[in-house]
Amino acid sequence: MSARRVNAALAALLACTAAPALAQTVAITGGKVVIGDGSDPIEGGTVLVQDGKVVAAGRNVAVPAGVRTIDASGKWVTPGLVVAVTDIGLYDVGAVDDSNDSDARKSPFSAGLDLSYAINPDAQHIKVSRSGGVTRAAIAPLGTNAIFGGQGAVIDLGADPDPVMIPRAFQYVELGETGAARAGGSRVAAWAELHDGLIEARELSLSPGGVRRDDVRLTRRDAQALIPVVTGNQPLYVHVERAADIRMVLGLKKEFPLIRLVIVGATEGWMVAGELARSGVPVLATPLNDLPASFEQLGATQSNVGRMKAGGVKVALGAFFDQPRYAPQYAGNMVALSRVPGASGMTWNQAFAAISSGPAEAMGLGDRIGSLRPGRAGDVVIWDGDPLELQTGVSRVFIDGVEQPLSDHQTRLRDRYAKSPSEGSLPKAYDW
C-alpha cells in the first residue's frame, strides 16, 4: 500500500474515533419519572427521546414500534443535573500548576479571557461528575489580577471531543472581600473598577473605532469583552455574599438598565430576600453555609436557601467546585431542613428543581436543558433509587440522546482493588 493510501486510511480511522456517537431514539419505561420542573414524580412513567431531544415524558406515552426500549421499573428517571459555576475541565491536578488553567493572575487580560479554550473533555473531574449524573455545567471563574474572572462557558459532559455548548456564555465578576483584595484592598476600589469597566464598554460600544480616554484602565480586549454585558447580550455573574453587597449589585440596573444580573454565593441573601424577589434577579446560592467563615458571612445560616425560596426569590443551588456530583446531597439536605423545627428548607420537588431546571433557568437556558419537557436536550439519568438519598447510585446516563460511559479513575480503582491480590503479587495494571 502506498504512503498516500496509508495516510488516508489513518486519517479516516482517526475521524471515526473522534466523531461523537449519533443520538438514538430510545424509550425509558416503567420508572418513577421526575420532570425536573418542580412537579410531582410520575409513577410508572415513560421518557421518549428522539434525535437528541425529549419528545415526551409522563404517563401514556406512545412508544413507536421498533424503538430501543429500556425497562426502568423500580428505578428513578430524571433530567441530567445542571451545575452552575464550577471549574471542572480547567485542571487535572489543582496543586500542579502545569495542569491547572484556572489561574491567570500573571496575564495582562481579565474580562477578555475566554475559558472555553482551556476546557479538557478528558479531565477526570468531568468523567467523575458525569458518573454522578451531571450532564451540563457552567464553567467559571479564572483567578486573575482584576475583579473580572473572564468569560465563562456552558458545556456538556459527554464523552466526545467537543464539550463546549456555548462559549462566552457569561462574564464573571468578584466583588465582596475577594474583589476588594484584587482591586486594591477596599470594596470602594472594587466598585470603582467595575463601574469604570462598564462605562468604558458602553463608550466603546457607541464608538467602536473611536479614540479612548487617557484614563482607561482596561485593555481594549477586556473592554470589548464587556460590551455584550452592557448591551444585555451576555449575563453578568456577580459573586457576593454580604447583604449590603447584594443591594449594591442590584442597584447597577439603575445606571445600566439592560444588564442581566445573576447573583452567585449570597450567603446573606435571606436578609434581602424581598429586594431580590422584587428585582427578579436569579440567585445561584452556595448551599449549607452555616458558619461565619468570613466577615461578609456573619449572617450565615443553613436556612438561607429555604428562606429565599419562601420569599419568592428565583434561587437555585450553585458554586459546586471540585465535586459537582455532590449536588444531590446538598439538595437532599434542603429537604431534610424542611423537617427540622425552626429551620427552612425545600420540598423534594423544589430541591430537585434547584439542581436541574433552576440553574438552567438562571443561565437563561431553561428552554433547552434542565428538565424532561418536550423539546429539551435528551439528557436523562437513571438512578437505582431516590437521587437525593446518599446511598443511591447512577445506573445510566444519556446526553443529547447518546448513552454515556460511566468509567473514570475512581471506578477503575474500585474494580482494580475489588479482589485482594494474592500474597507477594501486585494488582493487575490498567488496560488502556
Residue 298 pLDDT > 60: yes
Q: Which amino acid is it at 36? A: G
Nearest CA-CA partner of 80 in 133, 127, 41: 133
Contacts for 367 with CB less than 8 Å, ≥ 6 apart: 375, 376
Q: What are the pLDDT digits (tens) for 256-281?
A: 999 999 999 999 999 999 999 999 99
Residue 10 pLDDT > 70: no
Per-residue model confidence (pLDDT) at position 1: 44
Integer angstrom CA distances of residue 419 from 309, 410, 411, 413, 427: 47, 15, 14, 11, 9
When pLDDT is cut at 50, 70 and 90, the band that residue 24 belongs to is confident
Per-residue model confidence (pLDDT) at position 417: 77
d(CA 318, CA 331): 11
Nearest CA-CA partner of 42 in 28, 53, 25: 28
Nearest CA-CA partner of 197 in 139, 243, 255: 255
**Ranges 13-17, 57-61, 174-178, 221-225: which has the least confidence:** 13-17
- Residue 141 preceded by cis peptide, ω within 30: yes
Nearest CA-CA partner of 187 in 199, 196, 179: 179
Per-residue model confidence (pLDDT) at position 72: 98
**What b/e sequence results for 97-126 when a residue is b if at least 16 CB atoms lie within 10 Å of its CB, and e otherwise?**
eeebbbebeeeebbbbbbbbebbbbebebb
Residue 249 pLDDT > 90: yes
Per-residue model confidence (pLDDT) at position 15: 41
Q: Give CA angle at 365 (359, 369), nearest 5°.
A: 80
d(CA 258, CA 264): 19
Domain ranges of the chain: 1-80+372-408, 81-369
Q: Give CA angle at 154 (190, 290), nearest 5°.
A: 55
Q: What are the pLDDT digits (tens) for 399-421?
A: 999 999 999 888 888 887 777 66
Are residues 166 and 130 in contact, defined by beta-carbon separation less than 8 angstroms?
no
Q: Which percentage of the chain shows pLDDT scores above 90?
A: 79
Per-residue model confidence (pLDDT) at position 151: 97
Q: What are the pLDDT digits (tens) for 204-248?
A: 999 887 777 777 788 999 999 999 999 999 999 999 999 999 999
Angle between helix axes 176-183 and 187-206 (nearest 10 degrees) is 80
Q: What are the pLDDT digits (tens) for 337-346?
A: 999 999 999 9
Q: What are the pLDDT digits (tens) for 149-204?
A: 999 999 999 999 999 999 999 999 999 999 999 999 999 999 999 999 999 999 99
62 vs 96, which has greater pLDDT? 62
Q: What are the pLDDT digits (tens) for 385-397?
A: 999 999 999 999 9
Mean pLDDT (the chain, rounded): 91
Per-residue model confidence (pLDDT) at position 423: 62
Dmax of the chain from CA atoms?
Answer: 78
What backbone phi and psi angles, to 5 degrees, belong to 330? -65, -40
Residue 43 pLDDT > 70: yes
Nearest CA-CA partner of 325 in 83, 155, 37, 121: 83
Beta bridge mates, 28: 47, 70
Average of pLDDT values for 330-350? 97
Q: Which percentage of the chain shows pLDDT scores above 70?
A: 91
Per-residue model confidence (pLDDT) at position 332: 97
Per-residue model confidence (pLDDT) at position 412: 85
Q: Which fold has domain 1-80+372-408?
A: Urease, subunit C; domain 1 (2.30.40)
Q: Which fold has domain 81-369?
A: TIM Barrel (3.20.20)
Residue 11 pLDDT > 50: no
Average of pLDDT values for 25-32? 97
Per-residue model confidence (pLDDT) at position 281: 98
